[in-house]
Amino acid sequence: MTKNHTPKALLAFLLISLPSLAFAQDDALNGANTAWILTSTALVLFMTLPGLSLFYAGLVRTKNVLSVLMQCFSIAVVISLLWLVVGYSIAFGPAESAWWGGLSKSFFSGITIDSMSGDIPETVFASFQMTFAIITPALIVGAFVERIKFSAMLLFSVLWTLLVYFPVANWVWGGGWLGQRGLIDFAGGTVVHVTAGVGALVFAIMLGQRRDFLSATTLPHNLTMSFTGAAMLWVGWFGFNAGSALAADNAAGMAMFVTHISAATGALTWMLIEWFKFGKPSGLGAITGMVAGLATITPASGSVGPAGALLVGLSGGVVCYFATTYLKQTLRIDDSLDVFPVHGVGGIVGTLLAGILVSGNLGIFSGNGYADGMTMASQLGVQLLGILATGLYTAVLTFVLYKLVSAMTGGIRVTAEQEQQGLDITDHEEKGYSM
């Protein structure tokens, strides 16, 4: 009897043990987490190409549609290369400075196929973070569409990303001084939305209005295109927020769900405001409200629960709506595609709400709870500091870079004749449409 069963028992033992022994050699690499961040990387790039590109392109006039697509596409190209050369090193390098990561990882020096960042390959982490660096300057495109030289746009985007985005990413996510103070910014309320929003506002003020600002001729030429791009943004944002957990875990699941709830709430809120004020909800308002909900939940997506996401989306929809109206109608600032009132204001509101709704003592609105030693007052202080520091730094650098690029390119703005003709022809000698 023993002789008959011993080989079977030995075989069963080997079948159970050998796979576990093989996997033990690779236990530093988590396949599920790696697969999710690879997917999230593709989703965030999908937000820019084609999501943001189509969203913006549909909102401009026919004569400028190709120029906007080219601007978004070209930013993705040059920022990807800038990320390789110095961007990743500045944002996530190992330097002990609280202000930047140094240059030791320039050209990905020292990073091999075996290099790890936690339990995922470092190349995967770097690729994921690169997509954030791409979309942030691409957001600013919405502030200067239809009136900027292509060369000036490209030079400004490179310098702005180098001197604004990379350092701020280090401050918050790369071990820098704001992260050390405990700033809650899960996926980019300050790093992405405040910097892009403030940069867009300063740029729009300095560039000036389009010649026919607020006239009927500046209406979107293709809302179907913008709806398509907006839908892609909504889907891609799951990689933006849930991917920021850097793991396929409970935090990613909650971040995905609250992101969706906030987007839906923001869209419905904007629609209801228009319905009440004008008697009809607009399609443009619906997709703008959706983006406002997404921008507002971004910093808080790792801190709040589903009920909290309702408040975040509602706040984003209301505040961003009135900020958009005030900026255009009262201040008459031609932030053409509402970058500051939607992304900038949304990022500010979400960053502040994250400091409140993270509390574990708010009933159904409770979040994950404060870090040790933090209270609501102290956390709000850190959140406000993060907003002010990133906002002021961005404003000053954007002003300086605008002046510098203007001097280097002989003026940033196209001529009145070129603006009238459209940038598709004047910048690219092509047309978005053949008719």
- Residue 121 φ then ψ, to 5°: -60, 145
Domains of the chain, each with CATH number or no CATH: 32-428 (1.10.3430.10)
Asked if 64 and 421 count as a contact pair (C-beta separation under 8 A), the reply is no
* pLDDT higher than threshold 70 for residue 135: yes
Residue 96 has a pLDDT of 75
Summarize pLDDT for 172-216 with one digit per residue, the tens. Answer: 999 999 999 999 999 999 999 999 999 999 999 999 999 999 887
Question: What's the mean per-residue pLDDT of the chain?
Answer: 93
Q: pTM for the whole thing?
A: 0.92
Q: pLDDT band at 6, cuts 50/70/90? A: low
Q: What is the DSSP letter of 323?
A: H
> Which regions of 76-220 does DSSP assign to beta strands (E)?
116-117, 120-121
CA atoms of 153 and 159, how far apart (whole Å): 10
CA atoms of 278 and 288, how far apart (whole Å): 16
Summarize pLDDT for 263-300 with one digit per residue, the tens. Answer: 999 999 999 999 999 999 999 999 999 999 999 999 99
Residue 434 has a pLDDT of 82
Half-sphere exposure of 187 toward its Cβ, with a 13 Å CA cutoff? 32
Angle at Cα 322 formed by Cα 234 and Cα 352, nearest 5°? Answer: 65
Residue 21 has a pLDDT of 37
Both tokens of 382, joined, read 């850190």
> Does residue 50 have a cis bond before it (omega within 30 degrees)?
yes
Summarize pLDDT for 88-126 with one digit per residue, the tens. Answer: 999 999 987 899 999 999 999 999 999 999 999 999 999
Summarize pLDDT for 38-92 with one digit per residue, the tens. Answer: 999 999 999 999 999 999 999 999 999 999 999 999 999 999 999 999 999 999 9
